[in-house]
Structure 1
Amino acid sequence: MKYLLSIVVILLSLVSCTSPGTVAAPTLQNAEYRQSSALTEPGTIHIWTSWEGAIFERLQQAVDVFQNTHPQMSFEIQFIPFNQISAAYRTAVENGGGPEILIAPGSIGGELFLSGLAANTSPFLRSEMQVDLQPAAISSVSWEDSLIGVPLVMSGVVMYRNASVFKSAPATFEELKVLSAAASDKKTSVYLDGGFFFTGGHLFGLGSELMDQEGHPELANNRGAAWLSLIKELAEFGPLAFNSDDDLHAFLEGNTGILFDGTWNLNRIRESLGEEKLSIDPWPAVDGRHLSGFVQTDNAYLNPIKLNTSQTASLDFLKFLISPQAQTIFLQAGQIPVHNSLDIPDPFIQKIRSVFEGSTAYPVDPVMDRYSSSLNTALQRLLYEGWSVEDILVQAEQDILRDLDRDYP
């Protein structure tokens, strides 16, 4: 097989030295797309990825399987650490280079797309994605009428339960309150991490929004107040952490009943707690809606300046990556697939995928960094400093607007 694997840690200085002379960053309006046709011409697809370990190995396997039906294509895969990949890719593309495909976390996608460094895949893949993929996965790459990338795998916040502490799943918030009140020790009840990533999904679950269409905050209202009041009540059910692993460690030791935490810790939790004690439950209902957790995806992004020479090959490969065959390969690495129709033998991943159907895609807007920072401060004021809900929301909006004016004049 024509397969070249190079595991390379690319530093920004290296990218700058090997890229062509500086050119203006490409824009989506300038990108010309060719109609997809049969892939017959030989060529090489270059992939940069922050994936490592088991999922990197599965990406290699997916490439091998794809090459069985596309033997004329070769691949070069380069590993770049997560904390370097965005800057490395940006520098390369702005200098006229970079790979055909970037595989990286969804957190960088919005900024790349709005900078013209990731192509809109909607004209080519929307129909396949709408039919075959999880709604939260599609939302995670949706920007207005565009798709900023192709979601490959998912992760997010779910509700873990120690079935030896709480025998049954709370179907409603009121049942969760009753369970926590009945706990013999407050430490064995609900252990909440009050950080925004672990509690912000509930805002959307309650039917609210963070911002309007112009990106301005919409928090100082009844729904924003309902969200903070709910978080305050949750914090009273048991111990409290804040953007730390204290809650996780207590759950791993079997010392707490319910944990809101990321799916990336699934294997640690079930190995430590034991599969017979572990349950992953649907989000409890509250006031006609339900609690919710944020879902994020790792995505494949198309380099717009490479489309004229590699569009057909790249799109064929991306379609393969969201096919049941490739998604099953990623599943073997313990990843949560984005495809709807896979037969999933792992009961915990089955439950996670079911929970994700009603979960909230983490917003792709690049201003989310400013929102997240201000809302973490707001939650600290709520949980530790005794501010009133009304004052917290008003101040949070002011803080966000200040940061937006500073960073996006």
Structure 2
Amino acid sequence: MFKKLGALLVALLVLSVALAACSSGPAPTGNITLWHSWKESEIPALNEVIAAFQAKYPEVTFDVLYVPFDDLRGKYETAVATGGGPTVLIGAADWGPALYDAELIADVSDLAKSGFLKTINAAALGAVQYKDALIGLPQTIKGVVMFRNKQIVPTAPATLDDLLKLHSAAPKGDVYNTDLEAGFFFSAAHLNGIGGKLMEANGDPAFSSAKGVEWAQMLATFGKTGLGEYYTDNDVNLFKAGKAGIIIDGSWNMTGLAEAIGAANLAIDPWPTTSGGHLSGYVQTENIYLSANALDAAETAGWAFMEFFLGKDAQTTLVKAGHIPAIAGVEVADPLMEQTVKAFERGTAFPVIPEMGAYWESMDNALKSILNEGADPAATLKTASDNITAKIKEIRAGQ
């Protein structure tokens, strides 16, 4: 009997420890102040998410303030620097590093559980990882994708070779299979996709490499073997006119392209695979940040809301506002948005660190020299790397 009683006590002890481990801590209470710059059409979805959160946590109240986008960052910086401001801010991804460096937003690494983070699109999560900190959460995503007119190209190219075969095929009259964009913003992520990288984690150049040369040569092929563009609207215009079957462009043009050729004829395909990985596109985010002034109960409530915002129910609600979910497993009724979410699984985080500002001019000049003038890729990329390194030193000296 004593043995049975002892075994029961041990079992109860194990159960109590397990329950304690599963506990999420005290329920959030108090007031959450939220600042945002969302459009009027997005407000109903935001209100619905807030109402659902309050239904779960009735002890939490909200003060929500709309601030015009052009004023939001400055107002936030001034308020938080003087001890005020909101608990939570919804704002642009490229604000994050500067706000974190100024100690105006919190590192939420210790609050976020690994299982929760695994639900978030990897590229989107990369946009909020900075200096070994998690400086916010990506609440919606957008980015570069591959659009296809199914009437012109019935089957999606599964590999780069498939894409290049389509690209090099002669046009049928004035209808082209593909018109491929090689502009730096639209093509840079291909480098990451094939196993290279544009920059190190600290922003230093990393593209002057064998993979960098492979990337540049691939982009040169776009223009040599078929119709190619470099920051023009020709590809989009041809696609809308039913004269191009595949283009590379931003997800923000999805609605316009669907209206032009018919939603039933439009597809957004997964990036084709290559021998070293796959093509890719930059993924950009809008983020939700926790104020550095949110402490104790305010921190608990603010983080609970942020975590709720990235949950399936809230992300499903935000789809109504046209937001592409940042997490996996959200049921999306619109097949084009569903395809976009799938395509972003092979996306690359857009660098939002200050050092990115050093890249644009030098990389544009390098790519134009390689693509238009036949310059040697290795030498040209080395020169660009040296120029960017010098500019980065200037950026860091001014910080």
What TM-score do the two structures reach when normalised by structure 2?
A: 0.86
Q: Which residue of 2 aligns with 1:371?
A: 359
CA–CA separation in structure 1 for the residues paired with 2:104 and 2:368:
36
CA–CA separation in structure 1 for the residues paired with 2:204 and 2:138:
27
The counterpart of 1:222, out of the listed 196, 210, 218, is 210
Q: Does 1:293 align with 2:284?
A: no
Listed one character per residue, the Cα deviations across residues 29-61 of structure 1 (whole Å, up to 9, x for unaligned) are xxxxxx952224x42x22222322433431122
Listed one character per residue, the Cα deviations across residues 276-304 of structure 1 (whole Å, up to 9, x for unaligned) are 21111121122232111111121101111
- Contact 1:158–1:355 at 8 Å: present in 2 too? yes
Structure 1: tracts of 5 or more residues without a match: 1-34
Listed one character per residue, the Cα deviations across residues 332-383 of structure 1 (whole Å, up to 9, x for unaligned) are 2222112212222222222222221122111242311222343233223333
CA–CA separation in structure 2 for the residues paired with 1:108 and 1:220:
28
- Contact 2:203–2:356 at 8 Å: present in 1 too? no
Q: How far 1:136 moved relative to its partner? A: 2.3
- Contact 2:160–2:274 at 8 Å: present in 1 too? yes
Q: Does 1:395 align with 2:372?
A: no
CA–CA separation in structure 1 for the residues paired with 2:45 and 2:315:
10
**Closer, same or farther: CA 52–373 of 1 in aligned 2, 3 Å:** farther
The counterpart of 2:264, out of the listed 276, 296, 303, is 276
Amino acid across the alignment from 1:168: T
- Contact 2:138–2:286 at 8 Å: present in 1 too? yes
Listed one character per residue, the Cα deviations across residues 113-171 of structure 1 (whole Å, up to 9, x for unaligned) are 23322211111123343242222222222235421101111111111111111121111
Q: Which residue of 1 aligns with 2:109?
A: 122
CA–CA separation in structure 2 for the residues paired with 1:78 and 1:385:
52
Identity of aligned residues (%): 34
CA–CA separation in structure 1 for the residues paired with 2:43 and 2:372:
41
- Contact 2:146–2:270 at 8 Å: present in 1 too? yes
Amino acid across the alignment from 2:60: M
Q: Does 1:405 align with 2:386?
A: no
Q: Does 1:319 align with 2:307?
A: yes
Q: Does 1:58 align with 2:40?
A: no
Q: How far 1:185 moved relative to its partner? A: 4.9
CA–CA separation in structure 1 for the residues paired with 2:298 and 2:260:
47
Q: Which residue of 2 aligns with 1:8?
A: none
Moved more, 102-111 or 70-79: 70-79
SS of alignment partner, residue 236 of structure 1 = helix
- Contact 1:189–1:237 at 8 Å: present in 2 too? no
- Contact 1:62–1:321 at 8 Å: present in 2 too? yes
Q: Which residue of 2 aligns with 1:107?
A: 94
SS of alignment partner, residue 261 of structure 1 = strand
CA–CA separation in structure 1 for the residues paired with 2:241 and 2:186:
20
Q: How far 1:244 moved relative to its partner? A: 4.2
Rg (Cα) greater in structure = 2
Amino acid across the alignment from 1:98: G
Amino acid across the alignment from 1:333: A
The counterpart of 1:172, out of the listed 134, 147, 159, is 159
The counterpart of 1:330, out of the listed 290, 315, 318, is 318
The counterpart of 1:181, out of the listed 168, 173, 188, is 168
CA–CA separation in structure 2 for the residues paired with 1:215 and 1:368:
7
- Contact 2:195–2:211 at 8 Å: present in 1 too? yes
Structure 2: tracts of 5 or more residues without a match: 1-23
Q: How far 1:391 moved relative to its partner? A: 3.1
- Contact 1:190–1:237 at 8 Å: present in 2 too? no
Q: Which residue of 2 aligns with 1:302?
A: 290
SS of alignment partner, residue 148 of structure 2 = strand
Amino acid across the alignment from 1:393: L
Q: Which residue of 1 aligns with 2:28?
A: 39
- Contact 1:180–1:186 at 8 Å: present in 2 too? no
Q: Which residue of 2 aligns with 1:11?
A: none
**Closer, same or farther: CA 96–358 of 1 in aligned 2, 3 Å:** same
Q: Which residue of 2 aligns with 1:68?
A: 55
**Closer, same or farther: CA 382–92 of 1 in aligned 2, 3 Å:** farther
Q: Does 1:155 align with 2:153?
A: no
Q: How far 1:226 moved relative to its partner? A: 0.7
SS of alignment partner, residue 153 of structure 2 = coil
Q: How far 1:312 moved relative to its partner? A: 1.5
SS of alignment partner, residue 267 of structure 2 = strand
- Equivalent pairs counted in the alignment come to 373
- Contact 1:132–1:340 at 8 Å: present in 2 too? yes
SS of alignment partner, residue 38 of structure 1 = coil
